[in-house]
């Protein structure tokens, strides 16, 4: 509970590490060390809308997409300027300024700045930890900057450059150990930059995106500082290149793409003495076609990972609209999760770990009744080689 405290997503009974979180279609860097995304640290001021997909999607997105995919969109749709301020209990205060302006007919610029702070409250319920209580308020401070520049070269060709960064400080309850520093403060610095080129034709759509992100995550005792030997630091850099294409064919489409990712850590990250890097290259093919009252969808992907080699995934589904507005759906898909750097090289790590693998079946019945969309579904998800600590 409380602002800045750990926040995880669980979809269809899977672990938090089995949910892939994307920011504008790019993998969230903060998930690289722990294997799961902590959304409490991502500034809410940057969120314009959220896209959410249930079920296995590794055949398109690669590792982690076992339970589902969450894509956070930061791009604004409407021009204008907004200024907001808010105050609340526990000394909460928030100030936000954002603007989107046209520079001529073909160029658009977006800028945002946000400041949020609260003294918070004590997040631990006394008597539940079995240890001496740390009676203090667990506050949160966040400062955010965002900027984007978009330009239309022609009616079909456009490009963009985008960057954002945030500086967060979170207080949390720690465990007392006599004579040792009390690590109860988290300091997170994160920055992300990406640039892209898009082609939007009548039959063909294509997008190329390159991105870079860097995060430094400290946990420390404020009496000693974050550079003291007792403090911990998780530092990770992530580089990605994504090329996605889609062609309209008949009453559907065919898509294909390739992506490359490299993650590097500094010594000490995740209690690992040495720095490591992990690289992954993926290529995928998708298809969607409507034949009468039936809709068919399929996807296949192959990943080549520097740690465990090549791994393939696929998925397929079919839908039957037996009455207008009502249809049955059946699907099957495979997915996987690659071991994160902490699981491979951490103090309790094992460099010989295999990826976690999943097979998932689903049947569903959905419709539109009196203006209300509804869906009833049943699924089974079998996960093998699940990674745990002993």
Q: What is the C-alpha to C-alpha distance for residues 62 and 27, in angstroms, rounded to an integer?
A: 10
Question: Which of 248, 255, 257, 218 is closest to 236 using CA atoms?
Answer: 218
Residue 36 lies in a domain: no
pLDDT of amino acid 275:
74
- Identify the residue with better confidence: 272 or 84: 84
Q: Averaged over 18-43, what is the pLDDT?
A: 78
Residue 361 lies in a domain: yes
Q: What is the C-alpha to C-alpha distance for residues 284 and 30, in angstroms, rounded to an integer?
A: 25
- 285 burial type by CB count under 10 A (0-12 exposed, 13-18 middle, 19+ buried): middle
Centre a 10 Å sphere on the Cβ of residue 324 and count the other Cβ atoms it contains.
9
Structure tokens at 237: 């850099």
370-389, pLDDT tens digit by residue? 889 999 999 999 999 998 87
In this prediction, residue 213 has a pLDDT band, given cuts at 50, 70 and 90, of: very high
- Identify the residue with better confidence: 30 or 329: 329
326, β-bridge pairs:
323, 367
Is 317:331 a contact under the CB 8 Å cutoff?
yes
In this prediction, residue 113 has a pLDDT band, given cuts at 50, 70 and 90, of: very high
* Rama region for 71: left / alpha / beta (φ>0; ψ in -120 to 50; rest): beta
Residue 118 lies in a domain: yes
Q: Based on the structure, what is the number of domains in the chain?
A: 1
Spatial neighbors of 258 by CB under 8 A, at least 6 apart, are: 242, 243, 281, 282, 283, 284
If you count DSSP H runs as helices and E runs as strands, how many of each does the chain have, helices first?
A: 3, 19
Angstrom CA distances, 97 to 44, 75, 110, 114, 145, stand at 13, 15, 11, 6, 10
Q: CATH number for the domain including 216?
A: 2.40.170.20
Q: What is the C-alpha to C-alpha distance for residues 64 and 264, in angstroms, rounded to an integer?
A: 18
pLDDT of amino acid 272:
62
Is 281:259 a contact under the CB 8 Å cutoff?
yes
pLDDT of amino acid 179:
76
Q: What is the C-alpha to C-alpha distance for residues 163 and 194, in angstroms, rounded to an integer?
A: 6
Residue 12 lies in a domain: no
Give the residue numbers spanning the domain of 227. Answer: 81-384
Q: Averaged over 172-201, what is the pLDDT?
A: 88
pLDDT of amino acid 319:
97
Q: Averaged over 226-245, what is the pLDDT?
A: 91
In this prediction, residue 117 has a pLDDT band, given cuts at 50, 70 and 90, of: very high
pLDDT at 301 over 70: yes
Ranges 139-143, 258-262, 273-277: which has the least confidence: 273-277
Residue 212 lies in a domain: yes
Residue 40 lies in a domain: no
Residue 64 lies in a domain: no
In this prediction, residue 121 has a pLDDT band, given cuts at 50, 70 and 90, of: confident
pLDDT of amino acid 198:
97
pLDDT of amino acid 76:
83
Question: Which of 273, 272, 244 is closest to 259 using CA atoms?
Answer: 244
pLDDT of amino acid 75:
86
pLDDT at 4 over 80: no
pLDDT of amino acid 34:
58
pLDDT of amino acid 257:
97
Q: What is the C-alpha to C-alpha distance for residues 385 and 10, in angstroms, rounded to an integer?
A: 19
122-143, pLDDT tens digit by residue? 777 554 455 566 677 788 999 9
Q: Please state, for a pLDDT cut of 70, what percent of the chain lies above it.
A: 92
Q: What's the start-to-end Cα distance of the chain, in Å? A: 28
pLDDT of amino acid 173:
82
92, β-bridge pairs:
88
Q: What is the C-alpha to C-alpha distance for residues 41 and 358, in angstroms, rounded to an integer?
A: 29
pLDDT of amino acid 271:
60
pLDDT of amino acid 46:
87
82-94, pLDDT tens digit by residue? 999 999 998 899 9
- 262 burial type by CB count under 10 A (0-12 exposed, 13-18 middle, 19+ buried): middle
Residue 207 lies in a domain: yes
Q: What is the C-alpha to C-alpha distance for residues 165 and 189, in angstroms, rounded to an integer?
A: 8
């Amino acid at each position: 509970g409380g602002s800045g405290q750990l926040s995880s997503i669980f979809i269809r009974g899977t672990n938090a590490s089995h949910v892939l979180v994307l920011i504008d279609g790019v993998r969230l860097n903060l998930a690289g060390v722990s294997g799961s995304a902590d959304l409490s640290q991502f500034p809410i001021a940057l969120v314009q809308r959220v896209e959410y997909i249930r079920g296995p999607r590794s055949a398109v997105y690669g590792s982690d997409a076992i339970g589902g995919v969450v894509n956070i969109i930061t791009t604004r749709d409407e021009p204008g300027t907004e200024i907001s301020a808010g105050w609340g209990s526990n000394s909460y205060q928030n100030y936000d300024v954002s603007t989107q302006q046209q520079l001529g007919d073909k160029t658009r610029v977006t800028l945002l700045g946000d400041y949020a702070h609260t003294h918070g409250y004590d997040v631990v319920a006394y008597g539940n930890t079995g240890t001496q209580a740390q009676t203090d308020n667990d506050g949160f401070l966040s400062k955010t900057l965002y900027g984007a520049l978009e330009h239309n070269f022609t009616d079909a060709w456009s490009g963009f450059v985008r960057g954002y960064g945030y500086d967060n400080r979170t207080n949390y309850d720690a465990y007392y150990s006599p004579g040792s520093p009390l690590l109860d403060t988290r300091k997170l610095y994160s920055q992300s930059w990406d640039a892209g080129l898009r082609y939007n034709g009548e039959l063909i759509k294509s997008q190329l995106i390159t991105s870079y992100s860097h995060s430094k995550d400290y946990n420390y005792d404020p009496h000693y500082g974050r550079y003291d030997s007792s403090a911990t630091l998780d530092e990770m850099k992530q580089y990605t290149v994504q090329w996605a294409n889609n062609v309209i064919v008949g009453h559907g489409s065919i898509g294909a793409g390739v992506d490359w990712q490299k993650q590097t850590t500094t010594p000490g990250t995740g209690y690992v003495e040495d720095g490591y890097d992990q690289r992954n290259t993926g290529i995928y093919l998708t298809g969607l076609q409507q034949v009468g009252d039936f809709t068919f969808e399929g996807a296949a992907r192959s990943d080549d990972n520097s740690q465990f080699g090549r791994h393939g995934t696929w998925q397929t589904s079919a839908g039957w609209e037996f009455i207008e507005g009502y249809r049955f759906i059946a699907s099957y898909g495979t997915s996987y999760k690659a071991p994160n750097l902490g699981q491979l090289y951490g103090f309790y790590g094992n460099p010989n770990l295999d990826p976690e693998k999943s097979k998932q079946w689903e049947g569903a019945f959905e419709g539109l009744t009196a203006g209300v969309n509804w869906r009833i579904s049943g699924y089974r998800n079998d996960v093998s080689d699940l990674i745990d600590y002993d």
